[in-house]
């Protein structure tokens, strides 16, 4: 197996991730019911986002947090949603790639999940 090397690898990863995420019982409804997604626009946007993260391409032009704030307003995210998103992402990365960029993709996804939960104020319910 190779590491993530270029935009084509990122697109392969993103497409397989969404193929799985849209069918997932925990988070799939965000992609299929809560909002209508134009996949021909969304996939290139997400590829640009990850290209910017992994290769500093400068192609992605922001707005990720705002879009997720709107989604959160429509159907509130819970910690379990972030956990599931990360599990699908990490499993998909591990299935396709191995190496420094693959590890970075998983590390950065975890960082994004933490930041988004803090910004959206999605905290686990305190256990008594």
Contact yes or no for 122/77 (Cβ under 8 A) = yes
pLDDT at 69 (0 to 100): 87
Query: Would you place residue 123 in the very low, low, confident or very high pLDDT band (cuts 50, 70, 90)?
Result: low
Q: How far is CA 73 from CA 27, 40, 67, in A?
A: 15, 24, 10
Q: What is the CA radius of gyration of the chain?
A: 15
CA-nearest of 76, 92, 72, 119 to 24 is 92
* pLDDT, tens digit, 9 for 90 and up, residues 103-115: 999 999 999 999 9
d(CA 11, CA 115): 24
* pLDDT, tens digit, 9 for 90 and up, residues 57-84: 999 987 888 888 888 888 899 999 999 9
Q: Which CATH architecture has domain 7-120?
A: Orthogonal Bundle (1.10)
Confidence check: pLDDT of 126 > 50: no
Confidence check: pLDDT of 42 > 90: yes
Length of the chain: 128
CA-nearest of 31, 5, 36, 33 to 18 is 31
């Amino acid at each position: 197996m190779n590491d993530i090397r270029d935009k084509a690898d990122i697109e392969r990863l993103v497409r397989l991730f969404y193929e799985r995420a849209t069918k997932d019982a925990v988070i799939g409804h965000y992609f299929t019911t809560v909002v209508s997604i134009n996949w021909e626009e969304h996939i290139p946007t997400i590829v640009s986002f990850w290209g910017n993260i992994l290769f500093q391409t400068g192609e992605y032009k922001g707005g990720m947090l705002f879009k997720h704030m709107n989604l959160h307003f429509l159907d509130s995210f819970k910690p379990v949603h972030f956990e599931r998103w990360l599990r699908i992402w990490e499993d998909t990365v591990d299935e396709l790639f191995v190496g420094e960029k693959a590890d970075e993709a998983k590390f950065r996804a975890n960082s994004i999940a933490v930041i988004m939960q803090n910004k959206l104020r999605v905290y686990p319910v305190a256990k008594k």
